[in-house]
Structure 1
Amino acid sequence: MAAVIPAVTKLSSRIIRVLGCNPGIMTLQGTNTYIVGTGKRRILIDTGDSDVPQYINHLKSVLKHEDIDLAHIFISHWHHDHFGGLLDVLDLRDKTKYAQVWKYPRTEGDDIPDGAPVEFLKDGQEFFVEGATLRVIHTPGHTTDHIVLHLVEENAVFSGDCILGEGTAVFEDLHDYMNSLQEISNIEPAVVYPGHGNVVHSPKDKIEFYIHHRNEREQQILNILINNRQKQFDEQELVRMIYKDTPQKLLKAAENNVNHHLIKLLKDNRVSQFNNLWQYNDSCKTI
């Protein structure tokens, strides 16, 4: 069982974690939001979900107790449990009146809440507040607009939903996601502060596990198709054969992941698709 995450935790001299108080199947104990810096004007990373008064009260209390104003608010990606609480945070007007909101543009187009002063980020852009330098790294895969933030002073990465404190992440594009994991690995971070779950103190091991896990899943899918060359499968059949011990409530997410693996394999010319059914591509010589 994962260690319980308190509502508010001082993780280092320059990082305060405020739990989003929105527990769920996909959010674990809730969305982790982070206040970064050491001076009066600091940075908030992610804003939790909408209409969660408990989170807003905790955030307000920290800002007041520490005498903090927000200079910047960074959104790791467009999902509601990271972006949804933005207007509620901005309603803390005495603490957010100077705050600029930032996110990376989404390929599909962004639906920005009315009244939210959102500016778009660029890959490699850097931001400075007292005690903290944050570098933006575009890490698509989970979503097209996903970013992680590299805290230079601690060689730490705020990983959003690219790396979680427990379990594995879902993604929209597996090819991009694997590249993003490698991008984070290249930083060789000392610690990862995830969007959900506890702090990751051995990032190298975690990233290697993620890469191995995805490669293992791909091979499981291939093995079924190779051993049943004349048969065609849909995603649900493959999920039932591969995710035998997975709770029913998580099978839809598993089905989505299998679909993304199949699309990657289709691009690699390892499988063929016929009317939403999948089969091993016998013309491919690599097994």
Structure 2
Amino acid sequence: MQHLTLTAIPAIEKLSNNVIRVLGCNPGPKTLLGTNTYLIGNGKRRILLDTGVGGIQDYISNLQNVLKDNKIAIQEIVISHWHPDHIGGIVEVAELLKESVRISKYPRQARDDEEIGGGLKYSFLKDKAIISTEGATLRAVFTPGHSDDHLVYVLEEENAVFSGDCILGEGTSVFEDLYDYMRSLNVIKGLNPDIIYPGHGPVIRNPMPKIEEYIKHRLLRESQIYDTLKQSSSPLTAMQIVKKIYVDTPVVLHKAAEGNVLLHIGKLVKDNKIDKSVDSEDVYWQAKS
């Protein structure tokens, strides 16, 4: 995520008849003004999507006030992905409730020991799972890349997508696997949403241009890397690629840029466009002939 002039977001805001956003009150360079958590539905029992980072009393107080003022309860908790700023508040939220609730997410790919703490356990969702409450039908859609367990949720009644960290309200997101991430962006594009409620940042009310912008941004950098390798007379290291294409980036940031290049290289390898070679000191890359 880059440095931005951030749009102000109220701590609590009713966004539609079916959606109330409660800001996680955890601002930072990676979280913008904080994690967006959402109460979804219009009945007495609603779904809570994500729970913030944990340890933030302002968030717990705000959530408690919303529940009290609207005379509503939490039916269940659903999670977009495992990152701490989305699951960290689960135990504290659970302590607010007078009854146990189901806590659901997609399982991480390389782990079978996911634990919450406080004696709580996850119920694991499958791709296309349906979670319903009064006024809201959520469809979970598996969208890995930012993380290996990332889900977006489609709110059928609004043709809306809760995009988690796959698409942000401002700036661009980071990812673990660019190949999967690009596929997930195209999945969201195929959903053709009318509105996006992101995991961070303001509501996106004209989502298709934003989705296209995300895809175009990543494809542009990929094409720069691939073209650099094609035009080179010899294989290049990731840092050599950085020095050729990040010419306007301060040297102090080149190491971070190298990490970004390696993520793009991982996708180009999966796309069968480049080859790897190794000598005793470094790893080199070249375009396939």
CA displacement 1:22-60 (0-9 Å, x = unmatched): 111111111100000111100000011021111111111
CA distance in 2, matches of 1:254, 1:165: 23
CA contact (8 A) 2:74 2:97 kept: no
Q: Which residue of 2 aligns with 1:280?
A: 286
1:156 aligns with 2:145: no
Q: Which residue of 2 aligns with 1:100?
A: 102
Q: Which residue of 1 aligns with 2:241?
A: 238
CA displacement 1:66-122 (0-9 Å, x = unmatched): 11111110110000011111111111133xx24210000110114212212310001
CA distance in 2, matches of 1:261, 1:179: 14
1:192 aligns with 2:199: no
Equivalent position amino acid for 1:278 in 2: Y
Deviation for aligned residue 1:144 = 1.3
Q: Which residue of 2 aligns with 1:32?
A: 36
1:143 aligns with 2:170: no
CA contact (8 A) 2:6 2:32 kept: no
Deviation for aligned residue 1:273 = 2.4
Deviation for aligned residue 1:169 = 1.4
CA displacement 1:144-173 (0-9 Å, x = unmatched): 110000000000000001111111111122
Deviation for aligned residue 1:253 = 5.7
In structure 2, relative to structure 1, the CA distance for the partners of 1:222 and 1:36 (3 Å cut) is: same
CA distance in 1, matches of 2:214, 2:266: 19
Q: Which residue of 1 aligns with 2:220?
A: 216
CA contact (8 A) 1:271 1:278 kept: no
CA displacement 1:224-251 (0-9 Å, x = unmatched): 22333325223x4434544455689976
Question: Gapped runs of 5+ residues in structure 2?
Answer: none
For these two proteins, the number of residue pairs brought into alignment is 280
CA distance in 1, matches of 2:250, 2:63: 34
CA contact (8 A) 1:191 1:202 kept: yes
CA distance in 2, matches of 1:252, 1:42: 45
TM-score by length of 2: 0.90
Question: Gapped runs of 5+ residues in structure 1?
Answer: none
Identify which of 79, 87, 92 aligns with 1:83: 87
TM-score by length of 1: 0.91
Counterpart secondary structure, 1:70: strand
Q: Which residue of 1 aligns with 2:20?
A: 16
Q: How big is the alpha-carbon RMSD for the aligned residues of Structure 1 and Structure 2? A: 2.0
Counterpart secondary structure, 1:153: coil
Deviation for aligned residue 1:257 = 2.9
Identify which of 172, 176, 182 aligns with 1:178: 182
CA contact (8 A) 2:145 2:176 kept: yes
Counterpart secondary structure, 1:218: helix
CA distance in 1, matches of 2:57, 2:46: 22
CA distance in 1, matches of 2:66, 2:252: 35
Counterpart secondary structure, 1:154: coil
Q: Which residue of 1 aligns with 2:266?
A: 263
CA distance in 2, matches of 1:149, 1:260: 26
Counterpart secondary structure, 2:203: coil
Q: Which residue of 1 aligns with 2:211?
A: 207
CA distance in 1, matches of 2:6, 2:250: 18
CA contact (8 A) 2:179 2:266 kept: no
Q: Which residue of 2 aligns with 1:130?
A: 134
In structure 2, relative to structure 1, the CA distance for the partners of 1:145 and 1:229 (3 Å cut) is: same
Q: Which residue of 2 aligns with 1:111?
A: 114
In structure 2, relative to structure 1, the CA distance for the partners of 1:251 and 1:128 (3 Å cut) is: farther
1:67 aligns with 2:74: no
Identity of aligned residues (%): 50
Equivalent position amino acid for 1:54 in 2: D
Counterpart secondary structure, 1:47: coil
Equivalent position amino acid for 1:264 in 2: K
